[in-house]
Amino acid sequence: METAGETSANGVLTISDLTVAIHGKEILRGVDIALRPGQVHGLAGESGSGKTMTGLAVLGLLPHGARTTGRIELAGRDLLSLPAKELNAVRGAEVAMVFQDPATSLHPMLSVGRQLTEHMRHHLRLGRREARERAIDLMRKVRIPGPEEAIDRYPHQFSGGMRQRIAIAVALACSPKVLIADEPTTALDVTVQAGILRLLRGLCDDLGLAVLLVTHDLGVMSAVADEVSVMKDGLVVETGPRGQVLREPRHAYTRALLDALPENAGAETTGTEPSEGEPA
């Protein structure tokens, strides 16, 4: 684990001692996470442990009536105390988000080109043509086949995997420094998931993006995350490099999470006999 001084020195986004209470109920009870450029920080934990809330807090998307304390620092500013107008300039431009279900996170009645260019034109003040060219570029970057034609199509004309690629392209449109991906592959087929994970990892390496990957799937975590934090009841119980957290967990809860997995969930390791779930 690293000390606080170290993280604020080279982190692009530093969450320190974040608490969130909704109607008097404490959802987060002091969360510390530091994101570094070019690194994927995985956030694991069960449902209700506060991993999604942590992601939403960064974007100021918490539900009404949420009270926060602590600091979320991005380039010297505290996002929690930023006025709405300035926060709007951060959202989508410096920090972007990808949600679980691309079928609902994209607008069904707007062409993907419109959704890709809207915030570029707003944040970067690009002209129509320029924004469109950039959108085609982005679609190429996320490997959508035939981007010149695809840009005028609507979300329903794409498969789930392609839609999630588009959602990622939308998030990347304004070259954010931080990407928050909340269960980005949970709604997808495994074969498609593999492609999205490769894409995320590649973007992170090529663009120096700092990614906060919220997922319950420790396999996904193991595949792409550099650092892993494990959350339980609104607290981060363990943080460390991927290999250490997943192989030699220090906290009992992390060990319990790993033990709860069906053994040898990876299929390519042949030769070992898998454990049956339960016999009939």
Partner 1 sequence: MTLLTVDDLVVEHRTPGRPVVRAVAGASLSVAAGEVVGLVGESGCGKSTLARAVCGIGRPASGTIAFQGRPVAPLGLRRRDRSLTGIQMVFQDPYASLNPRRRVGDQIADGLRAAADASTTPADLLDRVGLPREFATRYPHEFSGGQRQRIAIARALAARPSLLIGDEPISALDASAQAQVARLMRDLAVESGAGLLFISHDLSVVRLIADRIAVMYLGKIVEIGRTDEVWADPRHPYTRALLGAIPAPDGAGVLPAELPGDVPDPAAPPRGCRFHPRCPKVMDVCREREPEFGPVACWLHEPA
Tell me the DSSP string of 212-249. Answer: EEE-S-HHHHHHH-SEEEEEETTEEEEEEEHHHHHHS-
- Minimum distance between the CB of residue 63 and partner 1, rounded to whole angstroms? 15
Among 189, 252, 255, 256, binds partner 1 (CB under 8 A): 189
Using rule CB under 8 A, residue 26 touches partner 1: no
Residue with smaller CB distance to partner 1, 16 or 39:
39
Using rule CB under 8 A, residue 245 touches partner 1: yes
Rounded-to-integer distance, Cα 135 and Cα 126, Å: 11
Q: Is 114 exposed, middle or buried (0-12, 13-18, 19+ CB in 10 A)?
A: middle
Rounded-to-integer distance, Cα 253 and Cα 257, Å: 6
Residue with smaller CB distance to partner 1, 68 or 193:
193
Cβ-proximal residues to 53 (8 Å cutoff; 6+ apart), any chain: 20, 27, 28, 62
The alpha-carbon radius of gyration of the chain (Å, integer) is 19
Of residues 96 through 115, those in contact with partner 1 by CB under 8 A are: 100
Among 63, 127, 146, 274, binds partner 1 (CB under 8 A): 274
Rounded-to-integer distance, Cα 239 and Cα 250, Å: 9
CB atoms within 10 A of CB 263: 11
- Minimum distance between the CB of residue 192 and partner 1, rounded to whole angstroms? 8
Using rule CB under 8 A, residue 191 touches partner 1: yes
Using rule CB under 8 A, residue 149 touches partner 1: no
Using rule CB under 8 A, residue 143 touches partner 1: no
Where does this chain bind partner 1 (CB under 8 A)? 46-48, 100, 159-161, 183, 186-187, 189-195, 197-198, 201, 215-226, 242-247, 258, 261-262, 264-270, 273-274, 276-277, 280
